[in-house]
């Protein structure tokens, strides 16, 4: 590894990480250190992503690709198809759930530390930040435009019969403009996702670093110490 990529040695990351975990998650006591590893697996740490962030990442990725495929398929359905109404209704309702998941993911990210990206060069870190926030902006516009398409007639969205999302306002011609934006941003999200995937594969197979591994398996568990074994 080059000197530039070794700016964050393992010892400099792990010690503050353990101290922060012990202080913020558990009250002082004999059992604190024993259970810290479990908390690290749930929450993000400086060393990697916890199970919540990883589930958000992979499940939303699958859902977004699936919704894109569904959108391409349903716009080709004719009036006599048994899915002519069912497919758009599902697409609309599930899109509202994804919008809710996006907001929760933002809140979860704000409540957790950002993992250290010491496997990336400074240029790669800047590009990664642009891609990361680009995803958030594109997804937000994509989902809000879908909401506007469905509510421009003043009707609320009944999300699978669980709850309703009210219409905010009506505007002549809004459906067509929102539909154009929705289609454009859907292709933009998929294009960015493909670039993101290729970059992750490049890091894994060519650079052979841990960029993909941190999002797949999370932070490495802290080895047991003599103090742990004695408790």
CA 6 to chain centre: 27
DSSP string, the chain: --GGGGSS-HHHHHHHHHHHHHHHHS-SSTTHHHHHHHHHHHS-BTTB--HHHHHHHHHHHHHHHHHHHHHHHHTT--TTSTTTTHHHHHHHHHHHHHHHHHHHHHHHHHTSPPPP-TTS-HHHHHHHHHHHHHHHHHHHHHHHHHHHHHHTTSPPEEETTTEEE------TTHHHHHHHHHHHHHHHHHHHHHHHHHHHHHIIIII--SHHHHHHH-SPPPPPPHHHHH-
**What pLDDT score was predicted for residue 66?**
98
Give the mean model confidence (pLDDT) for residues 212-231. Answer: 65
Give the mean model confidence (pLDDT) for residues 159-175. Answer: 90
d(C-alpha 143, C-alpha 21), whole Å: 36
Instruction: State percent of the chain over pLDDT 70.
Output: 77
Give the mean model confidence (pLDDT) for residues 10-25. Answer: 42
CA 19 to chain centre: 27
Residue 14 — very low, low, confident or very high, per pLDDT cuts 50/70/90? very low
Give the mean model confidence (pLDDT) for residues 163-167. Answer: 95
Please tell me the least confidently modeled range out of 32-36, 89-93, 147-151, 194-198.
Answer: 32-36
24/223: higher pLDDT: 223
**What pLDDT score was predicted for residue 209?**
85
**What pLDDT score was predicted for residue 215?**
86
Query: pTM of whole model > 0.85?
Result: no
**What pLDDT score was predicted for residue 220?**
64
Residue 187 — very low, low, confident or very high, per pLDDT cuts 50/70/90? very high
What are the tens digits of pLDDT across the range 23-57? 334 344 444 444 455 445 899 988 889 999 999 99
160/7: higher pLDDT: 160
Give the mean model confidence (pLDDT) for residues 199-226. Answer: 78
- In the 3-class helix/strand/coil scheme, how is 37-59 assigned residue by residue? HHHHHHCCECCECCHHHHHHHHH
Give all domains of the chain, ordered by start, each with its CATH number.
51-217 (1.20.950)
């Amino acid at each position: 590894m080059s000197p530039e990529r070794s700016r964050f040695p393992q010892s400099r990351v792990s010690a503050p990480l353990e101290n922060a975990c012990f202080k913020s998650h558990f009250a002082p006591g004999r059992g604190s250190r024993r259970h810290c590893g479990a908390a690290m697996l749930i929450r993000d740490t400086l060393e990697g992503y916890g199970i919540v962030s990883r589930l958000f990442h992979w499940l939303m990725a699958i859902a977004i690709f699936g919704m894109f495929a569904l959108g391409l398929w349903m716009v080709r359905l004719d009036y006599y198809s048994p899915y002519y109404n069912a497919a758009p209704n599902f697409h609309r309702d599930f899109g509202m759930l994804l919008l809710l998941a996006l907001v929760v993911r933002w809140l979860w990210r704000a409540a957790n530390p950002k993992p250290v990206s010491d496997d990336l060069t400074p240029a790669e870190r800047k590009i990664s930040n642009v891609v990361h926030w680009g995803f958030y902006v594109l997804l937000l516009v994509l989902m809000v435009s879908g909401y506007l398409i469905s509510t421009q007639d003043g009707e609320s969205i009944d999300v699978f019969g669980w709850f309703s999302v009210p219409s905010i306002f009506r505007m002549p011609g809004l459906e067509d403009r929102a539909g154009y934006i929705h289609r454009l941003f859907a292709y933009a999200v998929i294009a960015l996702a493909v670039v993101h995937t290729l970059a992750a594969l490049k890091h894994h197979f060519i650079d052979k670093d841990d960029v993909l591994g941190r999002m797949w398996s999370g932070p490495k568990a802290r080895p047991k110490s003599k103090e742990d074994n004695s408790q």
